[in-house]
Amino acid sequence: MINPRKKESRKHESSDEDFEPSPTPSSSKKKDTKKQKSSGDEFEGSPPGPSKASRSIQNTKSKPLPDRTKNYWLEVYLEKDKKWVCIDLETGRINSPSEIESRLPKPIFYILAVDNKGFFKDVTRRYVASYITTTRKLRYDEEWIKKTLRKYTQKSSSAKVNQEDQELARKSEDAPMPTTVSAFKSHPLYVLKRHLLKFEAIYPPEAPSIGWCNKEPVYARECVFTLQGRTSWLKEGRTVKIGEEAYKVVTARPKYDRMTGSMLKDLPLEVFGHWQTEIYVPPPAKDGKVPRNEYGNVELFKPWMLPKGTVHIPINGLQRTLRKLNIDAAPAMMGWDFSGRGCHPVFDGYVVCQEFEDLVLDAWNKDQQEREEKAEEKRENRIVDNWRRLVKGLFIREKIQAKYMKKK
């Protein structure tokens, strides 16, 4: 559901069927006002929640709404208090978002505010008490609403906008702890151990609980950390410290074994936390030799993974030059490509010892210049040969015409 509101002056008029407010009560504190309307039939079909196949919202044709679904209210900005307060146009009550929420059709997806400058603002958290536990799960991806309203949203550099964002965030954080197990799932502030994902764990192990739900301890979401295996941490430029025991053992993803031609399943995988790792320090180069892994490559997932005493030359096609100079070099592996139903390494250039960098670059530039000269010479020879064949063909044509064709 999208609930629009509009910012207007102190004196309001309405001539369309979308807005029919009564005159706004005057107040000495108000400066800006926004008008709101709650529409219960804005969206039809299933709620726009997450789905494995797709997530979408169906926008249907507008139609007249029943009287029971028409709810009007304003928002007035108080300069003295530096905040927005709502005014119920039906009862005249001020700053009573709970009463407005009680009259809105359920479920509530979005409540948007629109001022007279055409700027939109998502204020759902101000009027929905169960925003974190219920509404947040029914809504579409938050990035979608931000992208949709990007052209109609005030810049966050405005002090008024920043203050309102902080107020809405604080209102969500001050919401009471859920009382049901299902409400804790994917909660941004609290978590139960039963809802932890495969590669998640609570750290430290003796973290104190902040509450209980059906005799089950509740932990703060900030105590949940993501764990990774040794290979995954290496892709982040980190390595597991020596002597560290796995914080958790999980079942590894199925892996294809090329030797047997079968899929290996249900293999144990040791995973570690960030606190059990350290920055990866590769071995340095010695005697003009580049250190490499068991596959003959240098893993450069992060800049600090370059071995000491070496340089990375991001040029593909150096094999011929390196072979001529008889210089040791190793392909630079920058990452992985997961296309084509498989995992393939991505290479970019070579890693050579630092003392050979200038020599390799000079030889490569000279080789490129020679290739260009040869290509230019080959092109010129081809042009000359074409002209030679053309002239020779013309001579043959003239001879044939002079010998066999009758003169008119």
Kindly report the three-state secondary structure assignment for every residue of the chain. Answer: CEECEEEECCCCCCCCCCCCCCCCCCCCCEEEEEEEEECCCCECCCCCCCCCCCCCCCECCCCCCCHHHCEEEEEEEECCCCEEEEEECCCCCECCHHHHHHHCCCCCCEEEEECCCCCEEECHHHHCCCHHHHHHHHCCCHHHHHHHCHHHCCCCCCHHHHHHHHHHHHHHHCCCCCCCCHHHCCCCCEECHHHCCCCEEECCCCCCCCEEECCEEEEEHHHEEECECHHHHHHCCEEECCCCCCCEEEECCCEEECCCCEEECCCEEEEECHHHEEECCCCCCECCECCCCCCCCEECCCHHHCCCCEEEECCCCCHHHHHHHCCCEEEEEEEEECCCCCCEEEEEEEEEEHHHHHHHHHHHHHHHHHHHHHHHHHHHHHHHHHHHHHHHHHHHHHHHHHHHCCCC
Residues 376 and 401 in one domain: yes
Same domain, 203 and 164: no
Asked if residue 306 and residue 251 are part of one domain, the reply reads no
| Lowest pLDDT segment from 66-80, 158-172, 178-192, 262-276 | 66-80
Taking 50 as the threshold, does the pLDDT of residue 46 lie above it? Answer: no
User: What is the CATH classification number for the domain harbouring 320?
Assistant: 3.30.70.2460
Pick from 78-87, 272-281, 345-354, 366-375: least confident: 78-87
Domain count across the chain? 4
Determine the pLDDT at residue 34. Answer: 52
Residues 326 and 304 in one domain: yes
Residue type, 148: T
**Band of pLDDT at residue 381, cut at 50, 70 and 90:** very high
Shared domain check, 13 and 139 = yes
Percent of the chain with pLDDT over 70: 81
User: Over the chain, what is the mean pLDDT?
Assistant: 80
For the cut 80, the answer to whether the pLDDT of residue 397 exceeds it is yes
Overall average pLDDT of the 111-124 stretch: 83
Sign of the alpha-carbon torsion through 286, 288, 293, 295: negative
Q: Please check whether residues 148 and 108 belong to one and the same domain.
A: yes
Q: Are residues 7 and 89 in the same domain?
A: yes
Domain boundary among 256, 279, 302: 279
Do 22 and 110 share a domain, yes or no? Answer: yes
Please indicate, yes or no, whether residues 145 and 194 belong to a single structural domain of this protein.
no
Distance CA 175, CA 125 (A): 10
Tell me which of 173, 204, 236 is where a domain ends. Answer: 173
Examine the domain organization and report whether 237 and 340 are in the same domain.
no
Q: Are residues 241 and 337 in the same domain?
A: no
Q: What is the pTM of this model?
A: 0.63
Mean pLDDT along residues 93-115:
85
- Domain boundary (279, 304, 319) is at 279
Task: Please check whether residues 48 and 150 belong to one and the same domain.
Answer: yes
Q: What is the pLDDT of residues 132-154, one digit of tens each?
A: 888 888 888 888 888 888 888 87
Q: Residue 250 is part of which domain span?
A: 227-279
